[in-house]
Amino acid sequence: MSNASGFLRSFELGTAACAFAIAVVAQVLYAIHFYKPHFQSDDAVLNLLAESMWKQGTLLPEGWISNNGDLMVPSGALLIAPFLSWLPNGFSLHAIAGVFAIVVMLAAFLWLLRHKVRDASILLVAGAFCASGLSWYCAHVLYQQTTYLWWPAGFFAGAALIWKRRQSKAPAAGSRWIGTMLFLLVAIVCFANPARTSIMLVLPLYAFDRALAASSGGMNGHGALRRWLERSGARDRFVVTALGAAFLVAAAAYAGLMSAGIVSTDYSASNLHWADGTAAWKNLSLFLDGWFPLLGSNLARFNWREGVWDGSLEIARFLFAVWLTWVGVSECSGVHRQKDPLRRALTLAFLAAFLPTFFLYVFFEPLAVDLSTMRYFTVPLFILLALATVHAAALPRRNGLVFPLVLAALSVVVALTSAQRFVFYAHQPWTEFWRVGSSNPMRLAATLEREGLKWGYATWWNAGATTVMSDGAVRVSPITLTNGELRPYPAMVQRAWYASESWHGETFLALDFAEASPQNLQLLNATLGPPKRIIEASAQRVLVYDHNIMD
């Protein structure tokens, strides 16, 4: 190796390692501190479920109502619950789940890829993009909300096990150990919601395994039926047990709990129905508008007056998103000619995860609502990132500057993007590096604590987040407000919060200014009586009553 080429390799590896370190550190700092102003009531569900688990000493607390059939076992709540014996139920405990999610996702993603990608620079850059979440939307549901962690992390861990089994030199002993691990992985993840995981985990893993089996040959059974059984995996004990039986065990346990009334749920987004032509076109438009933002590029919405530097970074993200899309189209169109077993397996896994999700998203209601609902494509998106990594590793490495410079440029882009999105989003001066802004829940929590209020109600976005931001000192339970009538929020709540015996004495109702319209206040006075006092918070009007308004 010449001195020049050695220097280029060192430069390439150094920039990749720096990018990986910056992306991971930025995401961890965001999880433990800088995320506070963005903390939402959807995120607070982990803390509130953990509290119910801890108080009742069970994984499935009585009275908890889940949403869309998600039992949230496993979930980050399992990590938070044990600490409640010593620590208040606040943002710091939520950060534990966030850091765990970052570690688990990166470990699973890199565990699979390291078996094929020997170039450390490419692997580090891919890991940096994975740590960045590609877009803020994906990073939020993966690393802060953690709801969507289990399916992509489960896929990569399961795919690594399947790959290990196919490459094992001792197939009998290796298959038993790997089969047991995969069985447990699939059964545990599927237990939370078998309907979702059938598409987001089991089907992609099945496609991945069948692609590897076909690539290895050995499917030469005599007769059409036997050949079909071989190709489908029906004669493969590993597939039948580790995927099929694991899923059926989880589905049977889930159905048993539901039918026995041990757990209960509210169906909203999962209550699917066919979309008419107009709705299907609207759903397709939402998908097309959201695809590049999901990949981290918002070039179409960028205001160039924000600055040349930001504009250049946005163009770089757009080009990367275009390349990632091209890799997906190219690999899918040429999958029948692909000789590399891992690339072929990842391509078919991507299709198995993407096509059913796309079909449901476009042709059924009410999945497609806005850009945030593009989160349903998180699993195929990260499989695509893994596929692009393997694709890049297979590119010819000719002597020259092009490849090292492109990789270094990608390293700079992902490092700056991570720092900008997750640490310097408010463009604060260095002298106030650790300071964060405030949010409505943060300000409301401070107001309620200052006023000595302990128990009350608010609409969804001002309820759970405020409870967590007060470190559990104030219980703000979510309600719906319709024509002056208060009702318990239908999902992700504990029924005990609304029982009259749970609290006696002064309670409050926190309303946004729009909710506190003269008409609503008049209706509330008619149903609840006049408030004892009214507190003006920064963005809320807090009505204080001398009794429990849910009686």
| pLDDT tens per residue across span 433-459 | 777 888 899 999 999 999 999 999 999
Same domain as 418, residue 511: no
Peptide bond into 429 cis (omega under 30): no
11-25, 117-131, 419-433, 438-452: least confident range: 419-433
d(CA 256, CA 477): 30
What is the band of 396 on the pLDDT scale with cuts at 50, 70, 90?
Answer: confident
Same domain as 249, residue 197: yes
Under 8 Å CB-to-CB from 58, ≥6 apart: which residues?
none
Of 357, 389, 422, which one is at a domain's C-terminal end? 422
Count of the separate structural domains present in the chain: 2
Residue 42 covered by a domain: no
Q: What is the pLDDT of residue 311?
A: 76
Mean pLDDT of the chain: 87
Same domain as 261, residue 169: yes
pLDDT for 298 beyond 90: no
Same domain as 535, residue 415: no
Q: Are 507 and 549 in contact (CB under 8 A)?
A: yes
Same domain as 232, residue 200: yes
d(CA 324, CA 78): 35
Q: Which single residue is written with the structure tokens 């692609």?
A: 211
pLDDT digits (tens, 9 = 90+) for 310-330: 778 888 899 999 999 999 999
d(CA 64, CA 80): 17
Of 389, 422, 455, which one is at a domain's C-terminal end? 422
Residue 509 — φ and ψ, nearest 5°? -130, 115
Q: What average pLDDT does the segment 112-132 reach?
A: 92
More confident residue, 50 or 73: 50
Q: How many Cα atoms are found within 13 Å in the side-chain-facing hemisphere of 526?
A: 9
Checking phi first, is residue 482 left (phi over 0); if not, alpha (psi -120 to 50) or beta? beta
pLDDT digits (tens, 9 = 90+) for 497-520: 998 888 888 999 999 988 888 888
- Residue type (1 letter), 7: F
Same domain as 519, residue 371: no
What is the band of 358 on the pLDDT scale with cuts at 50, 70, 90?
Answer: very high
Under 8 Å CB-to-CB from 309, ≥6 apart: which residues?
none
Same domain as 445, residue 302: no
Residue 430 covered by a domain: no
Same domain as 529, residue 380: no
Residue 487 covered by a domain: yes
Domain span at residue 524 reads 440-545
Q: Which of 170-179, 456-465, 511-520 has the highest mean pLDDT?
A: 456-465
Give the number of other CB atoms < 10 A from CB of residue 339.
Answer: 7
Residue 56 covered by a domain: no
pLDDT for 300 beyond 70: no
What is the band of 1 on the pLDDT scale with cuts at 50, 70, 90?
Answer: very low
Residues forming beta bridges with residue 485, ordered by sequence position: 482
Residue 429 covered by a domain: no
d(CA 498, CA 494): 8
pLDDT for 188 beyond 90: yes
Q: What is the pLDDT of residue 238?
A: 82
Q: What is the 3-state secondary structure (H, E, C) of 479-538?
A: EEEECCEEEECCCCEEHHHHCHHHCCCCEEEEEECCCCCHHHHHHHHHHHCCCCEEEECC
Peptide bond into 74 cis (omega under 30): yes
Same domain as 457, residue 398: no
Of 422, 457, 476, which one is at a domain's C-terminal end? 422
Q: What is the DSSP string of 102-138?
A: HHHHHHHHHHHHTTT---HHHHHHHHHHHHHTSSHHH
Same domain as 453, residue 412: no
Residue 77 covered by a domain: no
Q: What average pLDDT does the segment 161-189 reach?
A: 81
Q: How many Cα atoms are found within 13 Å in the side-chain-facing hemisphere of 65?
A: 16
Same domain as 459, residue 405: no
pLDDT for 399 beyond 70: no
pLDDT for 482 beyond 90: no
| Alpha helices for 168-303 (secondary structure H) | 171-191, 194-197, 203-216, 224-232, 237-239, 246-259, 277-294
Residue 544 — φ and ψ, nearest 5°? -105, 130
Same domain as 489, residue 409: no
Residue 101 covered by a domain: yes
Tokens of 57: 């000493």
Q: What is the pLDDT of residue 239?
A: 84
Nearest to 162 by CA among 79, 68, 238, 53: 238
Q: What is the pLDDT of residue 214?
A: 82
Q: Are 182 and 161 in contact (CB under 8 A)?
A: yes
Angle between helices 308-333 and 378-393 (to 10 degrees): 80
Q: Are 76 and 122 in contact (CB under 8 A)?
A: no
Q: What is the DSSP string of 329-397?
A: HHHHHTGGG---HHHHHHHHHHHHHHHHHHHHHHHEESS--SGGGGGGGHHHHHHHHHHHHHHHHTS--
Residue 278 covered by a domain: yes
What is the band of 241 on the pLDDT scale with cuts at 50, 70, 90?
Answer: confident
4-8, 21-25, 290-294, 425-429: least confident range: 425-429
Judged on CB neighbours under 10 Å (0-12, 13-18, 19+), 543 is buried
What is the band of 81 on the pLDDT scale with cuts at 50, 70, 90?
Answer: very high
